[in-house]
Amino acid sequence: MKLRIQGNSLRLRVSQSDVAALLTNGQISDSIRFGARPDASLTYALEVGTTDLEIQVSYQPHRITVTLSSDATQQWAATNQVGIYGTGDLELIVEKDFACLDGTEPPDADAFPNPHAGKDC
């Protein structure tokens, strides 16, 4: 799972195995460490919850959790739908991570097949 924060938006990009783990376990997470101290880290998590909202975020010190509704998660995972999006005070984006087409990154076997592969620009 990749985390991108830009301005007032938060984006999670997930691989095929991330989506499979989310469906199986109800949650996936990762952490980044900024130093040796135990409190010098940030954990970011994606979970399926019992919310009426398709997507929402919560913040606790050292942890960001994006929660998706069960219905939205099931539809997104089972279709060609690219992402689940939310707007408000913070723009939230959870998207399938597609294989890179421009050759700037090494091939990622766990990325979703890019729907634009083989097409002329």
Is 68 a member of any domain? yes
Question: What CA–CA distance (Å, rounded) separates 11 from 25?
Answer: 21
How much is the mean pLDDT over the chain? 88
Is 115 a member of any domain? no
Q: 3-state DSSP: the chain helix, strand, coil percent, rounded to 5?
A: 15, 45, 40
Is 119 a member of any domain? no
Q: How many CB atoms lie within 10 A of CB 121?
A: 5
Residue pointed to by tokens 């219905």: 71
Digit-coded pLDDT (tens) for 63-77: 999 999 999 999 999
- Which is higher by pLDDT, 102 or 15? 15
Any idea what the CATH number is for the domain that residue 29 is in? 3.30.1360
Is 118 a member of any domain? no
According to DSSP, residue 39 is labeled: T
Q: Tell me the whole-structure pTM to 2 decimals.
A: 0.82
What domain range is 82 assigned to?
2-96
Give the pLDDT score at 107: 58
Digit-coded pLDDT (tens) for 25-72: 999 999 999 999 988 999 999 999 988 899 999 999 999 999 999 999
Give the pLDDT score at 21: 97
| Number of independent structural domains in the chain | 1
Give the pLDDT score at 108: 63
Share of the chain above pLDDT 70, in %: 81
Is 117 a member of any domain? no
Is 103 a member of any domain? no
